Structure 1
Amino acid sequence: MNQSTEFRADGVAVMHLDGRLNMVTAAAFREEVAALVAGGHARIAVELTRVDFMDSSGLGALVGGLKSTRQAGGDLRIVAPSEQVLMVMKLTNLERVLSPVSSVDEAFPRG
């Protein structure tokens, strides 16, 4: 999995993931979220358009990131998940906890 992070002027960190969020890659995702939160970026949008596969380890990493950001006074939002990711989220009812949105601006409105 490839991941990159961009920082908006309003302090939101936007993580772009590409590939598979699974048992092999979940640890790297968790480490990046922890580093962002430690660096003062507790509002994180995770863009999942290019994630073609996610398993339970990936779900766990997202939930762990949500917990970390909320403990720091922020939030983690899911942006534009692929069909496979959305299906996994719906099957596990996590779309209720990690409500997906279609854009970063919808996740964290500017202003």
Structure 2
Amino acid sequence: MKLNVEEQIQRTVTVTLEERLDVVSAPQLKRALEEYMNQGVNQFVIDLSTTPFMDSAGMAVLVTLLRRCRMNGGNVKLVWPQHEPVQRTLTLTRFDRVFEIIGRA
């Protein structure tokens, strides 16, 4: 999985996922996010705008990240995906109500 990571001001990390977020790639994402959390980062923006697919393993990583960030006074924002299957997944699972969404039309 190719992860583009950009650190921003106020210890916010933006991660852009350009490939599938699934059972194969989710562990890699989880490890990368845990490294940042261990450094004290508790604000994340997960850019799903170009992510073509997301399954339950990917969703589990996002929920775990959100829970840990909120426990430490932080938050996770999701950039609304362009691909309809991922949009549908976020809507059907109500992730669009749990996470703060950026760029939803």
**TM-score, normalised via structure 2 length:** 0.89
Name the structure 1 match of 2:64.
Answer: 64
Please list every run of 5 or more consecutive structure 2 residues that lacks an aligned counterpart in the other structure: none
Per-residue CA distance 1:84-103 (angstroms, 9 max, x = gap): 21210111122111232119
Contact 2:2 2:18 in 1 (8 A): yes
Q: Percent identity?
A: 27
Unaligned 5+ segments in structure 1 are: 104-111
3-state SS, counterpart of residue 91 of structure 2: helix
Q: Aligned pair 1:39/2:39, yes or no?
A: yes
Q: Which residue of 2 aligns with 1:23?
A: 23
Deviates more, 1:13-22 or 1:73-82: 73-82
Does the aligned pair in 1 maintain the 2:76–2:100 contact within 8 Å?
Answer: no
Per the TM alignment, residue 32 of structure 1 is displaced from its structure 2 partner at its CA by: 1.4
Q: Specify the alignment match of 1:101 in structure 2.
A: 102
- 1:12/1:45 contact within 8 Å kept: yes
Q: How high is the TM-score relative to the length of structure 1?
A: 0.84
**8 Å CA contact retained: 1:14, 1:46:** yes
Between 1:93-102 and 1:61-70, the stretch displaced more is: 93-102
- Mapped to 2, the partners of 1:63 and 1:12 lie a distance apart of 18
Cα distance in 2 for residues equivalent to 1:25 and 1:68: 20
Amino acid at match of 1:52: P
Runs of 4+ aligned structure 1 residues displaced above 3 Å come to none
